[in-house]
């Protein structure tokens, strides 16, 4: 392991696991530099970078996975612990791992270039204080525990499916395995749009057409039918993901409603409230969507109350949307959506609200969950990353304090914007992903789901404007971006039911971000971002 002070932009994952074996060969990364401050791994029909699944280690070993700006991509190295643990602690030591006095935790120390050795003081490894000021150290304690992890994943958008469909069958297989198999990122969550989004090739709902009479509403929902996009771009790839990952948990989000349901008679969000007299029908519309997907063998773990329904007042370049006021949304959940779901075949589905920006919480939640009935119906809070910063993490803590029984889940994120979209190999965007995920996890968030899993080299197709994605495709090959590997440092090593444990950064002046977990199998994981 290299000195934290001289190796820049690097992730470290430590596994301190006590028993068994390790191994499975992996395909190496074929690297390509597009001059954007980093590299991509290129996948073709004949070859694609794979990553060994994590397995338990003998008690005298630990493993490090490294990704960095210089081109390492989840590079694995197995390390040997140099000292046996004292009987009173039974925790391994080495020149990087030294024990706290109470034997309850582990200190992970930056390696010293000039003095790569351990000083023992009172029977414990100890570095002189003069050296401790050189490199950052971190401390973890498994006895201090926080939230459990739900999962990590990405969204099955129309654009993602269209870009996959354009590939050869071999390349499609590589791509799906890259996300959902044990030789890939081991995603275990997926977000599924209900009808169109800004990353579709047309705006559509499941009930109306361009020439529909605004005064004619199908109150029976007999005209409800899934779109061609569902059968071409979503369902086949969801089914394949479920095959690769049987524990996959899906949640649905709606951008659009039938135009006749909305006061502005438009797919656009601008002042597009649902007509109050159609609240009940709109709830049944949600349940009908779940029914139709179930008929195709796809069941959902969760459903959100709508995508970015509070910023839909703004006109984001034509992004489709539905606008809600928080108190109206709470009333709809209490009197219509919640009862409709509880009376359906999907009564155990999780209802997730907000599905919008961090600065809105907990303010809007106080209005949404305005009474006990609504509170009881809502299971979780969805968060998008676009307005996250170091100064508003307190809102996550406040929300957890106010609603400790409600999980928080990152439900959308993407790098780039309409003007500055695809940047093949850009390392800064990987850092942005990792920093935000670490920040969320350290403030009670229980998972993080990315936006488009695959876009083309122009960052689309899109109705509103292009962005970037962890995988970029050009039909004959695809490119695993640094963001892909940033996601992997979490999704591959922190399985569902892992519990966050205490971690601290002993050097407050260093630019090292970290988060630590205890896995269900007893392994300890520390993810460290050195910027």
Residue 504, SS3?
A: strand
- DSSP code string of 20-83: S------PPP-EEE-SSSSEEEEE-SS-----PPP----TTEEEEEEEETTS--SEEEEEE--B
Given 72, 412, 431, 477, the catalytic residue: 412
> How far is 480 from 460, CA to CA, in rounded Å?
16
Active-site residue flag, 398? no
Cβ contacts of 350 within 8 Å, gap of 6 or more = 251, 301, 302, 303, 379, 380
Q: Would you give the end-to-end CA distance of the chain in angstroms?
A: 16
> How far is 308 from 146, CA to CA, in rounded Å?
28
Active-site residue flag, 232? no
- DSSP code string of 204-218: --SS--TT--TT---
Residue 467, SS3?
A: coil
- 8 A C-beta contact, residue 388 and residue 432: no
How far is the CA of 201 from the CAs of 102, 195, 360, in angstroms?
A: 60, 11, 30
- 8 A C-beta contact, residue 446 and residue 407: yes
> How far is 186 from 178, CA to CA, in rounded Å?
8
> How far is 247 from 149, CA to CA, in rounded Å?
14
Tokens representing residue 73 in the block: 């991509």
Tokens representing residue 462 in the block: 């899109």
> How far is 84 from 45, CA to CA, in rounded Å?
47
> How far is 478 from 43, CA to CA, in rounded Å?
5
> How far is 305 from 453, CA to CA, in rounded Å?
22
Cβ contacts of 111 within 8 Å, gap of 6 or more = 1, 2, 3, 4, 95, 96, 135
Q: What's phi and psi for 412, nearest 5 deg?
A: -160, 140
Given 308, 398, 431, 497, the catalytic residue: 308
Residues forming beta bridges with residue 501, ordered by sequence position: 145, 516
Q: What's phi and psi for 52, nearest 5 deg?
A: -60, 140
> How far is 198 from 501, CA to CA, in rounded Å?
38
> How far is 480 from 184, CA to CA, in rounded Å?
11
Tokens representing residue 30 in the block: 């074929």
Q: Which residues are catalytic?
A: 308, 412
């Amino acid at each position: 392991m290299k000195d934290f002070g001289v190796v820049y932009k690097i992730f470290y994952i430590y596994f301190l696991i006590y028993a068994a074996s390790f191994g499975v060969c992996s395909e190496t990364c074929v690297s390509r530099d597009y001059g954007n401050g980093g590299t991509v791994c290129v996948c073709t029909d004949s070859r694609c970078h794979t990553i060994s699944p994590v397995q338990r280690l003998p008690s005298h070993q630990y493993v490090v996975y490294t990704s960095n700006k210089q081109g390492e991509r989840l590079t694995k190295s197995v390390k040997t612990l140099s000292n046996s643990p004292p009987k009173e602690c039974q925790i391994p030591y080495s020149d990087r791992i030294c024990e706290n006095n109470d034997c309850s935790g582990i200190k992970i120390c930056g390696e010293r270039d000039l003095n790569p050795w351990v000083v023992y003081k009172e029977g414990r490894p100890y570095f002189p204080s003069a050296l401790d000021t050189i490199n950052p150290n971190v401390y973890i304690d498994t006895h201090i525990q926080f939230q459990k992890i739900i999962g990590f994943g990405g969204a099955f958008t129309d654009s993602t499916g269209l870009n996959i469909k354009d590939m050869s069958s071999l390349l499609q297989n590589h791509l799906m395995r890259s996300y959902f198999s044990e030789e890939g990122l081991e995603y275990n969550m997926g977000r599924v749009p209900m009808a169109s989004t800004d990353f579709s090739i047309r705006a559509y709902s499941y009930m109306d057409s361009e020439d529909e009479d605004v005064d004619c509403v199908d109150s029976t929902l007999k005209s409800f039918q899934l779109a061609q996009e569902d059968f071409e771009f979503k369902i086949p790839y969801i089914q394949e993901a479920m095959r690769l990952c049987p524990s996959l948990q899906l949640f649905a989000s709606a951008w659009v409603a039938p135009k006749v349901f909305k006061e502005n008679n438009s797919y656009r969000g601008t002042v597009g409230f649902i007509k109050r007299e159609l609240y009940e029908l709109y709830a049944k519309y949600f349940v009908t969507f779940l029914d139709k997907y179930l008929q195709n063998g796809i069941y959902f773990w969760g459903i959100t109350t709508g995508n970015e329904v509070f910023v839909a007042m703004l006109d984001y370049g034509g992004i489709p949307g539905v606008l809600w006021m928080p108190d109206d949304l709470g009333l709809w959940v209490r009197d219509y959506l919640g009862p409709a779901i509880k009376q359906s075949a999907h009564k155990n589905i999780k209802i997730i609200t907000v599905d919008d920006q961090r600065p809105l919480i907990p303010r809007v939640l106080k209005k949404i969950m305005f009474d006990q009935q609504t509170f009881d119906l809502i299971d979780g809070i969805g968060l998008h990353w676009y307005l996250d910063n170091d100064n508003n993490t307190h809102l996550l803590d406040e929300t957890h304090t106010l609603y400790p029984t409600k999980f928080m889940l990152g439900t959308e994120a993407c790098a780039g914007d309409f003007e500055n979209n695809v940047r093949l190999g850009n390392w800064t965007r990987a850092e942005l992903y990792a920093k935000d995920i670490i920040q969320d996890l350290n403030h009670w968030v229980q998972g993080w789901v990315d936006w488009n899993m695959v876009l083309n080299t122009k960052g689309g197709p899109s109705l509103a404007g292009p962005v970037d994605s962890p995988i970029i495709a050009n039909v004959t090959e695809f490119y695993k971006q640094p963001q892909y590997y940033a996601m992997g440092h979490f999704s591959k090593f922190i399985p569902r039911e892992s519990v966050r444990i205490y971690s601290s950064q002993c050097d407050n002046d260093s630019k090292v971000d970290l988060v630590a977990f205890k896995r269900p199998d007893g392994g300890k994981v520390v993810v460290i971002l050195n910027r």
